[in-house]
Homo-oligomer: A and B are copies of this chain.
Amino acid sequence: MGLIVQKFGGTSVGSVEKIRNAASRTAEELKNGNNVVVVVSAMGKTTDHLVDMANDITKSPSKREMDMLLTTGEQITIALYSLALAQIGIEAVSFTGWQAGIKTEAIHGNARIIDIDTDRISNELESGKVVIVAGFQGVTDDGEITTLGRGGSDTTAVALAAALKADKCDIYTDVTGVFTTDPRFVKSARKLLSVSYDEMLELANLGAGVLHPRAVEFAKNYGLPLEVRSSMEKERGTIIEEENEMEQNLIVRGVAFEDQITRVSVLGVSTSLKGLSTIFTTLAQNHINVDIIVQSRTEAGTANISFSIKSNDLPETLDVLERNKESLNYQSVESETGLAKVSIVGSGMVSNPGVAAKMFEVLEGNGIQVKMVSTSEIKVSTVVNEKQMVHAVESLHEAFELYSGAVKAN
Contact = CB atoms under 8 A, between A and B. Distances in A.
A72 interface: yes
Contact of A83 (B57, B78, B84, B94): B57
A54 B69 contact: no
B79 A54 contact: yes
B80 A57 contact: yes
Interface string A269-307: 000000000000000000000000000000000000000
Nearest to A143: B99
Interface-centre pick from A61, A69, A79 (highest chain B CB count, 10 A): A79
Interface string A74-110: 0110111011101100000110101100000000000
A79 B94 contact: no
A94 to B, nearest CB: 5
Given A68-B94, A99-B143, A143-B99, A62 B86 contact: yes
A399 interface: no
A50 interface: yes
A7 B188 CA distance: 62
A410 interface: no
A120 B143 contact: yes
A120 B53 CA distance: 27
Contacts of A145: 96, 99
Contacts of A71: 75
A245 interface: no
B62 A83 contact: yes
Contacts of A96: 68, 145
B79 A69 contact: yes
The 8 closest A-B pairs by CB, nearest first: A69-B79, A72-B72, A68-B79, A58-B87, A16-B56, A65-B79, A65-B82, A57-B83
30 contacts: A16-B53, A16-B56, A19-B57, A54-B80, A54-B83, A57-B80, A57-B83, A58-B83, A58-B84, A58-B86, A58-B87, A61-B83, A61-B86, A64-B93, A65-B79, A65-B82, A65-B83, A65-B94, A66-B79, A68-B78, A68-B82, A69-B75, A71-B75, A72-B75, A72-B79, A96-B145, A98-B98, A98-B143, A99-B143, A120-B143
Given A64-B93, A68-B75, 18 more contacts: A16-B57, A54-B80, A57-B80, A58-B87, A61-B83, A62-B83, A62-B86, A65-B79, A65-B86, A68-B79, A69-B83, A71-B75, A72-B76, A72-B79, A98-B98, A99-B143, A99-B145, A120-B143
